[in-house]
Amino acid sequence: MCRYSAQSTGEAILHRRERQRLARMRHERRRADYLAGRWAAKAAVTHLCAVPEPAAIWLEPGVLHQPVLGGPGTGDVAVSLTHSQQVGAAVAFDVAHPVGIDLERADPLRAGTLHSALTPGEGEITRGLRLDPLLAATALWTAKEALAKFLRVGLSIDMSLLEVAAWRTEGEWWRLEYRHVVSMKALVLAVDDWLLALCVPIRTAVSAPGLPGSLSAALACDLAPVGAVL
């Protein structure tokens, strides 16, 4: 997880193709989000792969707007990434074990939209939690977005198909299970007022280290399949 600031030397890690894409962006907020996402993605990839340097690899949008990784040393590795308000997060993984990721801030200005997106069943879940309603609604939204990224459908899908049916605590995470996609789960981590969701196969274990309060530190997650044939 990386925070971008105007003082960041973000462009130094960009491949030539990414620099060209950045040059076409006119709005500073979009440029900052793009750089935050690339920083996070390349940190994740270099943690997993022996790449020569971050600028030697690149990410481009595929036909479904999913990030497609290219460059030497990347092999069968893919990336899921997310960015919001100049903060980016990413996870790199073997293509045999896909993951989806989403990051959202619990924003009071979006409370109405988030609550209106809840199904009756999800509304019942949130009412049973000892949790701020906005935080709960944001966690549910991140879980759905992470699943949509895992499926590579974005938000073009009927959101009711991404419905969350169960919520419980699992270690440092909230574990959310889906009603219609029963082979998957979302693991949601709260950091300050940010919610980070990973969508993984139901039998995958995820461990996260103790996190400092600052988002300027990297978040590293180790994924290991538990007795699953992938």
Q: Which helix (H) or strand (E) holds 89?
A: strand 87-94
Please say if the pLDDT value at position 72 is more than 90.
yes
- What fold, for 2-94? Ribosomal Protein L22; Chain A (3.90.470)
pLDDT at 58: 94
Task: With cut-offs at 50, 70 and 90, classify the pLDDT of residue 87.
Answer: confident
Q: What is the pLDDT of residues 210-221, one digit of tens each?
A: 443 333 333 434
Whether the domain at 2-94 and the domain at 100-225 fall into the same CATH topology: yes
Please say if the pLDDT value at position 101 is more than 90.
yes
In terms of phi and psi (left: phi > 0; alpha: psi -120 to 50; beta: otherwise), the region of 117 is alpha
Q: What share of the chain is helix, strand, coil (3-state, %, to 5)?
A: 35, 30, 35
Task: With cut-offs at 50, 70 and 90, classify the pLDDT of residue 9.
Answer: low
Hey, which CATH number is domain 100-225, 3.40.50.300, 3.40.50.12780, 3.40.50.2300, 3.90.470.20? 3.90.470.20
What CA dihedral angle connects 101, 93, 66 and 3, to 10 degrees?
50
pTM for the model: 0.85
Q: Where are the domains of the chain?
A: 2-94, 100-225
* Bridge partners for 173 per DSSP: 170
Q: What is residue 17's three-state secondary structure? A: helix
Give the phi and the psi of residue 105 in degrees, each rounded to 5. -100, 140
Please say if the pLDDT value at position 206 is more than 60.
yes
